[in-house]
């Protein structure tokens, strides 16, 4: 079965606005609309690969408990780090099962200590529970093993953001952005944005991203995030007139229109 890299974003109530991402290797096919649910009972004679594939499809259908059953059946036949990672992700998607997910990722790391994805996913569990420093340690290990992966730096930035260490968070986000200029776009399009601890956090995050896009010459997305910053009540919005990163943006008509319009903060 072809293994394709994808990013899975999860919604966890009360977690950080800058959502962390989990690493996995396979993206199942989309089921047909209104397809009837089929009884999900693992076939004891099925191969580990078939059980894994069925688990992938069930997880895509949001039948997470059934997916876990199939992953468990596959693990009994042929335990791999990838399978443990997938089962951990399924537990996280159930919400409220962080401990079970953490155990799965621990098994994944034990089986493959050189797989960066396991450390990244384990860090996500710590981040979901707002254990920022523990999450950062896991992300650091993931980055050491795979320094070219923008997702890991993005997640690291999310943990620093949770600690309100905006300066360090910005550095990590900049590294992620340098490795993958589409990282913020992909996150917003694929994932479910999680409620921040406060509108101030959402505003600060949006302004930070707007500055990155402005510096990269991406006017369209810089304007988009400036608007979000204002809608979340960013109080230092006039920095756009003094920060050198916005120098080119200030010459654009769209910027003039946005600042003249001044979208009010949304309660």
Backbone angles phi and psi of 91, in degrees to 5: -65, -40
CA distances to 66, 162, 172, 192, 232 from 142, in Å: 29, 19, 14, 23, 33
Cβ proximity of 88 and 102 under 8 Å: yes
pLDDT at 206 over 70: yes
* pLDDT tens per residue across span 44-66: 999 999 999 999 999 999 999 99
Q: What is the pLDDT of residue 202?
A: 86
Architecture of domain 6-144: Alpha Horseshoe (1.25)
Q: Can you tell me the distance from the alpha carbon of 132 to that of 121, in angstroms, rounded to the nearest whole number?
A: 14
Query: Tokens at residue 76, please?
Result: 């009994």
Q: Which residues contact 165 (CB under 8 A, 6 or more apart)?
A: none
Q: Can you tell me the distance from the alpha carbon of 61 to that of 57, in angstroms, rounded to the nearest whole number?
A: 6
Q: What value does the mean pLDDT take over residues 242-251? A: 95
Query: Tokens at residue 254, please?
Result: 């769209």
């Amino acid at each position: 079965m072809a293994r394709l890299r994808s990013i899975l974003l999860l919604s966890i109530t009360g977690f950080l606005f800058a959502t962390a991402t989990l690493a996995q290797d396979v993206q199942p096919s989309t089921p047909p609309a209104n397809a009837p649910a089929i009884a999900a009972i693992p076939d004891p004679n099925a191969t580990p690969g078939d059980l894994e594939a069925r688990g992938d499809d069930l997880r895509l259908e949001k039948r997470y408990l059934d997916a876990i059953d199939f992953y468990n059946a596959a693990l009994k036949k042929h335990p791999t780090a990838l399978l443990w990672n997938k089962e951990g992700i399924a537990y996280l998607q159930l919400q409220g099962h962080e401990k079970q997910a953490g155990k799965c990722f621990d098994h994944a790391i034990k089986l493959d200590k050189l797989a960066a994805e396991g450390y990244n996913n384990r860090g996500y569990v710590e981040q979901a529970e707002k254990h920022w420093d523990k999450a950062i340690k896991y992300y650091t290990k993931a980055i050491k093993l795979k320094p070219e992966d923008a997702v890991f730096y993005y997640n690291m930035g999310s943990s620093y953001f949770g600690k309100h260490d905006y300066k360090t968070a910005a550095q990590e986000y900049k590294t992620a952005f340098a490795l993958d200029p589409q990282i913020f776009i992909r996150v917003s399009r694929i994932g479910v944005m999680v409620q921040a601890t406060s509108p101030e956090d959402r505003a600060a995050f949006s302004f930070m991203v707007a500055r990155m896009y402005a510096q990269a010459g991406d006017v369209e997305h810089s304007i988009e995030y400036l608007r979000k910053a204002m809608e979340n009540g960013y109080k230092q919005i006039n920095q756009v007139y003094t920060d050198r990163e916005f120098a080119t943006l200030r010459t654009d008509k769209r910027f003039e229109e946005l600042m003249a319009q001044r979208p009010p903060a949304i309660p």
